[in-house]
Amino acid sequence: MAVATREQAPAAADRGVWSWITTVDHKRIGIMYAVAAFIFFLVGGFEALLIRTQLAGPNGTVLSAEAYNQIFTMHGLTMVFAVIMPIAAAFQNYFVPLQIGARDVAFPRINAFAFWLFFFSALFLYTSFLFGGAPDGAWVGYAPLSTQLTEYVRMDYYSVGAQLLGVASLAGSINFIATIFTMRAPGMSLMRMPVFVWMTVVTSFLLILSLPVIGVGLWQLLFDRNFGTLFYAAQAQGDPLLWQHLFWIFGHPEVYVLILPAMGIVSEILPVMSRKPLFGYAFVVFSGIAIGFLGFGVWAHHMFTAGLGPVAEAGFGLATMLIAIPTGVKIFNWIGTTWGGRLKLTTPMLFSLGFISMFVIGGLSGVTHSIVPADTQQHDSYYIVAHFHYVLFGGAVLGYMAGAYYWFPKWTGKMLSETIGKWHFWITLIGFNLTFAPQHILGLDGMPRRTYRYDAGLGWDGWNLMSTIGSYLIAVGVLVFIWNIIRSWRNGEPAGNDPWDGRTLEWTTSSPPPVHNFDEVPVVHHVDDFWYRKYGIDEDGRAVKMPEVSGGALTVDTDTGGEDGDADAHDIHMPSPSYFPIIASAGVVILGAGLVFISSGAIGFGLLALGAIVSLWGFMGWAGEPITKEAH
Amino acid sequence: MSTSTEHLHIDPTEKRWMIASVGLLLIFFAAVTVAGFMLGIQVPTRERRVDPNTVAEQPPWSEPGVREIVPGEEYEVYVLAHRFSFTPNEIEVPAGAKVTFYVTSTDVQHGFKLQDTNVNFMALPGQVSKLSTTFEKPGVYPYICTEYCGLGHAVMAGAVTVTEAP
């Protein structure tokens, strides 16, 4: 039966651009997320270089204040919404179904819709440079500054763009939760899931609970700007602080949304490269959940200078300290995992170790924010910039780089070059520290953030120059990475199914996996089930490689062999491609464009009408389309 | 879930780490409680609400600047923040005196950070922010806007000149 299944799986007739546009395959959507996120990483990185070039010396003249404000705002928006969130979604899309032994996600077309909506919204945000200027109210968009700049459509772009990106993330999150809760392979109880899958559950819930809050805030912002409402207008008894609360109730969980998937990736890589099980699996899982819960109770530490009063500030300060505990638990568990292991210092392992060490620095500087009097000193200084770059670059980006090196073989069937990878790692690590370590000193020395220039003679020149040199070094590292990808894609060593001696189910299938992922749905008996198929334990408690079992390594489960539960089914039905998700998402983005220009009269209403028609076409067609079409 | 106990087995080493973590938490908790409520550490506080439309016309902000409460010992300073300057942008107080700053904004959000002191707070339209400090040494202490407020944010600054104690 197994042979028949293999042969009758959907043929690989899916080539060309059209097949990518209409694809609902979670692996292809994952790859598109990765490519899009990497392109935006280059764009956001270019913006960062502009910022650092401007600040290389005192009284920089590369950018005007107007240009600088747009660029630093777009750098923040891009890196958060168009780089780190989608690169996490890329890994989640590709590997969550593989790691839980599923053939696809629960809602393949919603998955495609989420990707295209993200991609079009991010592009739409960038069209603002052509039509009236990019958002220039910082990525936090504090009111009333963001509501008062009514002479431009800039912050309308911010409001609508972030709203649409949020909808895309919501769609993705619901899909992941449904997939993980309903489509796990037989035997894969929740406490046998890989940690990466667990962290996907946590981030998905964080997004579902936090995005509606900012969604409300962003609508209010749009209404304040265009329809004369006064939510944030202090001049009419509105409350500017309301925006800050709404933004950070979303904004702080968002930080964990950015970092938790990276923590999940590192929790996958460390056991494999240490040849030991993850130290304290349950603790790593529960501390991730605890971080998720506590993440909703710390938002006001972003607002300690706003005058909330001593009781609120003590409470939020305590909650901020509290969240350091589960985070610390994770760090100790990672160290415990490597402790006494026979480490394989491969590139993914180096990036993982880099992640841990840089994240510890960023985490510790974060704990200093929980001390209210210290926080008010650091507020909106470069110390904050240094802190969150240690968490989001030294943490998240290094973590996702580790994931890229770890899983590239599964994506392409080729290994990334280890030699070039190590160059990439060390250049990035040195460049990163050169860029952001001096910013701690600058911040404590009083340099405020979001200023396009600074005077000479304040003692800031040398540190800023060092920081700028570091940022160029990071750029060199990115170029090395690109070179590695291109070179390895063409002539990389073939990877085989299991290049790292992996522990999780994605390594049981071919590289790249077939469209239906698994010929036979695996049955799971342990955490790290695949490892237990390969290794036994001798009397001394040491792992011993078991003899290779050809073909029969995976338990055949006839009851789940076919999607329809028919034990006699000989072929696997995968969902058919559909072009309705891309049409629906394009329609929604056109609707958004209409909202941005709603104050401009006919253009706005025209776009709204067009968007309504296109999205209706997309959604109606989608609703009327059977999931699996018979032969085309 | 008959096998769940097997998977939730907790290694003694892990248990020790857990106890250590909870212990750390309790120490942190005690430290903050002591610092916040017994040492009376001062944090930025909203003093009161005002109407940003009229605040500049009514006392005390109709005449912003320094008020001498007790000569050489206690001073109050009223500062208005607006795009992109502070009124006043020159302040003079003697060293050793307790100086209390009352700052509000007439337009968008601003910050008020007095370099080398504990004073750093937001100046929001509609509310007055208040903090006290004592300048021990004479000299010039710049104050800058720390909350991004638009095009002129980088140049929004003033300075306190601290004179020798009388």
- What is the Cα–Cα distance from A129 to A106, expressed in whole angstroms? 37
Chain-chain contact of A452 with B129 (C-beta, under 8 angstroms): no
Mutation target for A interface from B2, B3, B5, B14: give the one with most A CBs within 10 A. Answer: B14
According to DSSP, the β-strands at B90-94 and B157-163 are: parallel
Which position has the token pair 């292991």?
Answer: A341
> Which range (A569-578, A590-599, A612-621) has the least confidence?
A569-578
Residues on chain B touching A192 (C-beta within 8 angstroms):
7
> Quick check: helix, strand or coil at residue A531?
helix
pLDDT band at A234 (very low <50, low <70, confident <90, very high): confident
Residues on chain B touching A284 (C-beta within 8 angstroms):
none
Chain-chain contact of B28 with A318 (C-beta, under 8 angstroms): yes
B60: CB partners within 8 A, 6+ apart = B67, B78, B102
DSSP-derived letter for residue A368 is G
Choose among A145, A149, A322: nearest Cβ to B109.
A145
A86-109: buried (b, 16+ CB within 10 Å) or exposed (e) per residue?
bbbbbbbbbbbbbbbbbbbbbbbb
CB B122 within 8 A of CB A144: no
pLDDT band at A619 (very low <50, low <70, confident <90, very high): very high
- Provide the angle, in degrees to the nearest 10, between the axes of the packed helices A418-444 and A398-412: 160
Choose among A144, A328, A454: nearest Cβ to B125.
A144
Q: Which residue of B has its CA nearest to A528?
A: B7
pLDDT digits (tens, 9 = 90+) for A314-363: 889 888 888 888 898 899 899 999 998 899 999 999 999 999 999 999 99
- What is the Cα–Cα distance from A467 to A448, expressed in whole angstroms? 15
Residues on chain B touching A336 (C-beta within 8 angstroms):
13-14, 17
pLDDT band at A563 (very low <50, low <70, confident <90, very high): very low
pLDDT at A210: 95
CB A414 within 8 A of CB A488: yes
Terminal alpha carbon distance of chain A: 25
- What is the Cα–Cα distance from B153 to B144, expressed in whole angstroms? 9
Two tokens, residue B117: 């002191």
Choose among B21, B22, B45: nearest Cβ to A310.
B45
Q: Which residue of A has its CA nearest to B11?
A: A280
pLDDT digits (tens, 9 = 90+) for A191-232: 999 999 999 999 999 999 999 999 999 999 999 998 889 999
Q: Does position A428 have pLDDT exceeding 80, yes or no?
A: yes
pLDDT at A67: 93
pLDDT digits (tens, 9 = 90+) for A68-112: 999 999 999 999 999 999 999 999 999 999 999 999 999 999 999
Which position has the token pair 């598109």?
Answer: A32
Return the percentage of chain A with pLDDT > 70, whole number: 92
Please give the domain boundaries of chain A with CATH numbers for all domains.
Answer: 23-481 (1.20.210.10)
pLDDT band at B19 (very low <50, low <70, confident <90, very high): confident
Return the percentage of chain B with pLDDT > 90, whole number: 42
Closest by Cα among A98, A285, A91 to A195: A285
pLDDT digits (tens, 9 = 90+) for A142-193: 988 888 765 567 899 999 999 999 999 999 999 999 999 999 999 999 999 9
pLDDT band at A11 (very low <50, low <70, confident <90, very high): very low
Measured in angstroms, the CA of B155 and the nearest CA of chain A are apart by: 8
pLDDT at A558: 43
DSSP string, A247-264: HHHHHHHHHHHHHHHHHH
> Which range (A6-15, A512-521, B122-131) has the least confidence?
A6-15
Q: Which residue of B has its CA nearest to A373?
A: B43
pTM of the full predicted structure?
0.91
pLDDT at A545: 81
CB A351 within 8 A of CB A429: no
- What is the Cα–Cα distance from A445 to A175, expressed in whole angstroms? 47
For residue B34, list its beta bridge partners.
none
CB A125 within 8 A of CB A157: yes
- What is the Cα–Cα distance from A307 to B32, expressed in whole angstroms? 19
Q: Does B153 touch chain A (CB under 8 A)?
A: yes
pLDDT band at A374 (very low <50, low <70, confident <90, very high): confident
Query: How big is chain B by its Cα radius of gyration, in Å?
Result: 23
Choose among B21, B29, B107: nearest Cβ to A329.
B21
- What is the Cα–Cα distance from A257 to A16, expressed in whole angstroms? 34
Q: Does B54 touch chain A (CB under 8 A)?
A: no
What part of B 12-41 touches A (C-beta under 8 Å)?
A: 13-14, 17-18, 21-22, 24-25, 28-29, 32-33, 35-37, 41
Chain-chain contact of B32 with A138 (C-beta, under 8 angstroms): no
pLDDT band at A537 (very low <50, low <70, confident <90, very high): confident
Q: Phi-psi category of A524—alpha, beta or left, where left has phi over 0 and alpha has psi -120 to 50?
A: beta
A81: CB partners within 8 A, 6+ apart = A122, A162, A165
A624: CB partners within 8 A, 6+ apart = none
pLDDT at A574: 82
Q: Which residue of B has its CA nearest to A284?
A: B14
Residues on chain A touching B143 (C-beta within 8 angstroms):
none
pLDDT digits (tens, 9 = 90+) for A45-66: 999 999 999 999 999 999 999 9
> Which range (A579-588, B51-60, B72-81) has the least confidence?
B51-60
Q: Does position A555 have pLDDT exceeding 50, yes or no?
A: no
Kindly list the distances between the CA atom of residue A389 and the CA atoms of A71, A383, A514, A588, in Å, as whole numbers in the listed order.
17, 10, 38, 33
Q: Which residue of A has its CA nearest to B156?
A: A451
Residues on chain B touching A332 (C-beta within 8 angstroms):
17
CB pairs under 8 A between A and B: 167
Q: Does position B100 have pLDDT exceeding 80, yes or no?
A: yes
Measured in angstroms, the CA of B69 and the nearest CA of chain A are apart by: 24
Q: Mean pLDDT across the stretch B68-80?
A: 92
> Quick check: helix, strand or coil at residue A104?
coil
Closest by Cα among A325, A341, A336 to A280: A336
Measured in angstroms, the CA of A325 and the nearest CA of chain B are apart by: 6
pLDDT at A567: 40
In one-letter notation, the amino acid at residue A1 is: M
pLDDT digits (tens, 9 = 90+) for A276-318: 899 989 989 999 999 999 999 999 999 999 888 878 888 898 8
pLDDT band at A529 (very low <50, low <70, confident <90, very high): confident
pLDDT band at A553 (very low <50, low <70, confident <90, very high): very low
In one-letter notation, the amino acid at residue A318 is: L
Residues on chain B touching A313 (C-beta within 8 angstroms):
36, 43
CB A150 within 8 A of CB A224: no
In one-letter notation, the amino acid at residue A144 is: P
- What is the Cα–Cα distance from A596 to A97, expressed in whole angstroms? 37
Q: Which residue of B has its CA nearest to A287?
A: B18
Measured in angstroms, the CA of A445 and the nearest CA of chain B are apart by: 9
Phi, psi of B154 (to 5 degrees): -70, -20
Q: Which residue of B has its CA nearest to A327?
A: B21
pLDDT at A373: 83
Q: Which residue of A has its CA nearest to B14?
A: A280
pLDDT at B27: 86
According to the per-residue pLDDT averaged within each range, which of A97-101, A535-539, B11-15, B71-75 is highest?
A97-101
